[in-house]
Structure formats: structure tokens, C-alpha cells
């Protein structure tokens, strides 16, 4: 009888762990969806900067900023 109780508690802990993992995954997907272009531009800029081409860094940053502002305007979040 004791092993049945232990298994239920173990199953409950596993279920709680799965729920937490799912919530974190959904939050990560949402953040990437909202800031994906900006993050991609930042990594691209860092890559170009490490390569030493400063003009490409400035262009990538300006393009990412313009895209981000355009997305804010289209969603109404910038108002």
C-alpha cells in the first residue's frame, strides 16, 4: 500500500514539472515572436562587428530599429 502512495506523489511531481516546462516554453515562444527580428539583428550586428565591418553594423542596427518601430505602429502598441 505504501508504494501506491509514493507513486502518486511521484506522478504529481512529474505533472507539475511538465506544466512548468510548458509555461516556460510558451513564454519563450512569445518573447521570440515579439522580439525575434530585433534579437536576430543584434546577433547579426555582433557577428559583423566581430568581423570588423562597422558600416554593416550601423546598417543592420538601423534596419532592425525601423522594423521594430513599424511593428509597434502596426499593432498600436506605440500609441
Q: Is 7 helix (H, G, I), strand (E, B) or coil?
A: helix
- Answering whether pTM is above 0.75, one says no
At 74, phi and psi to the nearest 5?
-70, -30
Report domain extents, the chain: 2-75
pLDDT digits (tens, 9 = 90+) for 26-53: 999 999 889 888 888 888 888 887 886 6
Instruction: Extract long-range pairs of 46-54: CB within 8 Å, 24+ residues apart.
Output: none
Radius of gyration of the chain (CA): 22
Other beta carbons within 10 Å of 55: 8
Least confident of 28-42, 47-61, 65-79: 65-79
Amino acid at each position: 500500500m505504501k508504494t501506491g502512495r509514493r507513486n502518486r506523489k511521484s506522478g504529481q511531481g512529474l505533472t507539475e514539472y511538465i506544466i512548468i516546462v510548458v509555461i516556460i516554453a510558451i513564454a519563450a515562444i512569445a518573447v521570440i515572436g515579439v522580439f525575434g527580428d530585433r534579437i536576430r539583428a543584434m546577433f547579426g550586428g555582433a557577428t559583423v562587428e566581430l568581423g570588423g565591418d562597422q558600416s554593416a553594423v550601423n546598417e543592420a542596427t538601423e534596419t532592425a530599429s525601423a522594423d521594430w518601430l513599424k511593428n509597434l505602429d502596426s499593432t498600436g502598441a506605440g500609441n
